[in-house]
Amino acid sequence: MIALYRPGTSLLHRTPAGLKVVLFMLVSLAITVAGSTPWALPLALVFVIVGYLLAGFGARELARQVFAVRWLVLFMLVAQIIFLPPLVAVGNAARVLAVVVLAALITLTTRIPALLDAIDRALRPLRRVGVNSAAVGLLLAMTITTIPVIAGFAATIREAQRARGAKLRLATFAVPLLVMSLKHSDDLADALAARGVE
């Protein structure tokens, strides 16, 4: 996993990791479930902006995170416009953008060990029914931290295509992104296996 944590003393940095994960899951679920309502997307965007302000990053860092995932969002937008009305496709892409940028905010303000410990503690009562809380915590932490990594892959691919003068095409963008994502997952699996995690 790539460590994106940036030390700080803001309110969000001091907020317990468990609370941040719970809020992230609730907001992501709300964005998904209430996606068709007209107030859901504006409220989600306001929540994202307030989160970055509370973390002390400001509009510049928020813009940097949005800019970093621009090609991933564009890819999703183009793919959906083929099958959905333009307004629906834009709304879906905006909701995904909000969730991705929120995930990036968690990785920027929370250390990975703190994430793992918080999730493990929350799921520990489920051990009685056979749930491996440590494994679930590792899975959730990896999921949250991998979202910005894949977005970075998308930006790298597009920059490489731009340097070669290639136009943005779905096939030439999606295939390298899939290959890089699979390679990243293989690297993660090898690293976990080397540490005895199965």
Q: How does pLDDT run along the chain (198 residues), one tens digit per residue?
A: 344 778 888 888 888 888 888 888 888 888 877 766 777 778 888 888 888 988 888 788 888 888 877 777 887 888 788 888 888 888 888 888 888 888 888 888 888 778 778 777 777 777 787 777 777 777 766 776 676 777 778 778 878 888 888 776 766 777 888 888 888 778 777 776 776 655
**pTM for the whole structure:** 0.66
* Paired tokens of 83: 């099958």
How many of the other CB atoms lie within 10 Å of CB of 137? 21
Q: In whole angstroms, what is the distance from residue 192 CA to residue 101 CA?
A: 26
Single-letter amino acid code for the residue at 103 = A
Q: In whole angstroms, what is the distance from residue 110 CA to residue 173 CA?
A: 31
Indicate the domain borders of the chain: 11-194
- Residues 6 or more apart in contact with residue 96 via CB below 8 angstroms: 73, 76
How many of the other CB atoms lie within 10 Å of CB of 51? 21
Q: In whole angstroms, what is the distance from residue 146 CA to residue 113 CA?
A: 15
